[in-house]
Amino acid sequence: MPEYSTINLHPSSHPISSLKTHTYDVICIGSGWAGRVTAARVVKAGLTAVIIENELVGGDCPFWACVPSKVLLRSNETLEAAKAVGGAKERIIGDGVDVEGLFKRRDQMTAGGDDGQVLVPTVESSGAHLVRGTGRLVGVKRVEVKSWNGETVELDAVHAVVLCTGSHPVVPDVPGLNEANPWFPRDATSASKVPEHLVILGAGAVGCEMATAYLSFGATVTLITTSKEILPKIDPEAGKLVRERLVNRNMQFYLSTEVVRVTREATNSVKVELSNGEVISATEILVAAGRKASTSGLGLDIFGLSTDGSAIPVDESLCVEAVPNRWLYAAGDINGRSPLTHMCKYHGRIASQAIIAAARGTPRPHKDLDNTSAVADHAGIPQVVFTDPIVASVGLTRTMALAVGKSVREITAPVKTVGAMIHADGYQDGWAQWIVEDGSNKLLGATFVGSDVTDLLHASTVAIIGGMRLEQLAHAVPSFPTLSEVYLNLLEAAGF
């Protein structure tokens, strides 16, 4: 894959002149998952839609985020899985992953940064129209599109405009950081060479996943975070288990530490000064310090909305309530509710259903589980962090439950089952936790840590969204010999 800085983000197809009409039922600004799902679903319901995109069609996920990052992690996961099974491990030749081979696989999976291979045909086959350029609100239901060659056009929406412009990295206010030309996540996921020593600023999912990946490529990795534990949005025990495993693999962590200055000393040399007085010399620094909503230049100011990167407030149908007459929606990362790809797809589903219902004049039921309310944003956001070990979590953590005044208890159990023993010799660090509401015995949250725990999560997600009590879960019998038998361990720990 060409390095990020050399990729043409503005291909010449789908110019403004290719538009056959300037009026659409629905206009989506941004072609990430949120925009594509919204547009495809309204078209399926018989409305017309156009997507405006100012970079690669597809947004972050297929080119720079989920897909390449997971491909970069997968080879080592596979290797480690084989190493833990007698009869397979004896056949492994050589040490570590083949970095060149996995970069090649990443390039295939991301189509080398060419959106014409998969993403453009996907949009076209959905029946939505596509135009390349920057979208900006210029009036009620009116959007201006400005292309990179300076051509402009104004489009009108009959029913709705949906803002799906995603998010972009936060740049912490650290002296020298910008001037040091740091890596951002796009550089880390598209790189084709491995820095000898990578310093990572930030311990959220992106920072920790990239740390795990680059460690497996043979880099020395140092992670610096102001938080007390890594993965601060997840239960601290999960963060601790991941950190301990990575420390065993010689990774260095600085917790509760600030970076106070960064200096680029040469192409491959960066000096990082810390709040504890230490100075680290590294090859590259990756900034993974969170994300903010992509709101600038969208014309939001004419409707009195903030453009400083704060999330756009929306109601349960993802409609921007502050703008009268319910024609402006914000779906995906831009509304800050649940910035994850599967939740962006969910937002596309909810927003499109709300728009279709409004277009048909059918009243929206406004009930808890109706199909135009994004209730999962509150009750059960699932997330998998593909570190080593993997962390899969859904719903409320203890801290979140207490913050909303719920009285809860924590149930923990090891991921120790016959299935786990068959899965891998010495299945390591497997840990499971449920957060259960006192009194009702309803499941409110779940966290699983270990290898291959990703698919344990959905059963807990279903139980949380379904409002299931442990008395009911006790009759959901997991198959033998699967990792799912950890559910029996949790039930036993809960007294069932």
| Chain residues in the site for ligand FAD (CB under 6 A) | 29-35, 52-55, 59-61, 65-66, 69-70, 134-135, 164-166, 185, 189, 206, 294, 297-298, 332-333, 339-342, 344
Q: How far is the CB of 86 from ligand FAD (least distance, A)?
A: 31
Specify the DSSP class assigned to residue 325: T
39 vs 61, beta carbon nearer ligand FAD? 61
Nearer to ligand FAD, 312 or 411 (CB): 312
The β-bridge relationship of strands 197-201 and 284-287 is parallel
Q: How far apart are CA 451 and CA 391, in angstroms?
A: 9
Residue 325 has φ and ψ, to the nearest 5°, of 75, 15
- Least distance from ligand FAD to the Cβ atom of residue 270, Å: 20
Write down the H helix ranges in 164-299: 185-190, 205-216, 236-248
Residues 6+ apart with CB under 8 A from 303: 137, 320, 322, 323, 328
- Residue 2: which residues within 8 A CB-CB, separation 6 or more? 112, 113, 190
To ligand FAD, the closest distance from the beta carbon of 115 in angstroms equals 9
CB of 2 or CB of 365, closer to ligand FAD: 2
How near is the Cβ of 166 to ligand FAD at its closest, in Å? 2
Contact between residue 411 and residue 490 where contact means Cβ atoms under 8 Å apart: yes
Q: At residue 387, what are phi and psi to the nearest 5 degrees?
A: -85, -170
Q: In the structure encoding, which two tokens stand for residue 421, read together?
A: 């023993």
Paired tokens of 410? 């924590």
Which residue, 388 or 437, has its beta carbon nearer to ligand FAD? 388
Nearest to ligand FAD of 288, 432 (CB atom): 288
In this structure, is the dihedral angle defined by the CA atoms of residues 106, 109, 111 and 115, taken in order, positive or negative? negative
261 forms bridges with which residues in the sheet? Answer: 273
Token couple for 118: 């998969």
The CA-CA-CA angle for residues 364, 370, 373, to 5°, reads 80
Choose between 275 and 296: whose C-beta lies nearer to ligand FAD. 296
Crossing angle between the packed helical segments 99-109 and 66-83, to the nearest 10 degrees: 140
The whole-angstrom distance between residue 193's C-alpha and the CA centroid of its chain comes to 24
Are 256 and 227 spatial neighbours (Cβ–Cβ below 8 Å)? yes
259 or 298: whose CB is closer to ligand FAD? 298
Alpha carbon distance 112, 63 (integer Å): 8
- 266: number of Cβ within 10 Å: 7
Query: CB of 30: closest distance to ligand FAD in angstroms?
Result: 3
Phi, psi of 412 (to 5 degrees): -125, 155
* b/e burial code for range 224-258 (CB count within 10 A of at least 16 → b): bbbbebbbeebbbbbbebbbebbeeeebebbeebe
Measured from the Cβ of residue 259, the count of other Cβ atoms closer than 10 Å reads 25
Q: At what angle do helices 341-360 and 33-44 cross, to 10 degrees?
A: 30
Complex with ligand FAD: residue 307 or 482, whichever CB lies closer? 307
Smallest distance, Å, CB 63 to ligand FAD?
A: 9
What's the min distance (Å) between Cβ of 181 and ligand FAD?
19
Minimum Å gap between C-beta 478 and ligand FAD is: 25
* Nearer residue to ligand FAD within complex by CB, 235 or 333: 333
CB of 12 to ligand FAD, least distance (A): 16
- Nearest distance from C-beta of residue 255 to ligand FAD, angstroms: 22
Work out how close the CB of 442 gets to ligand FAD at its nearest, in angstroms, rounded to a whole number.
25
Q: In the complex with ligand FAD, which residue's Cβ is closer, 185 or 419?
A: 185
Nearer to ligand FAD, 346 or 487 (CB): 346
**Least separation in angstroms between CB 50 and ligand FAD:** 11
Could you give the CA distance from residue 319 to residue 351 in angstroms, rounded to a whole number?
8
Q: Of the two residues 57 and 411, which places its CB atom closer to ligand FAD in the complex?
A: 57
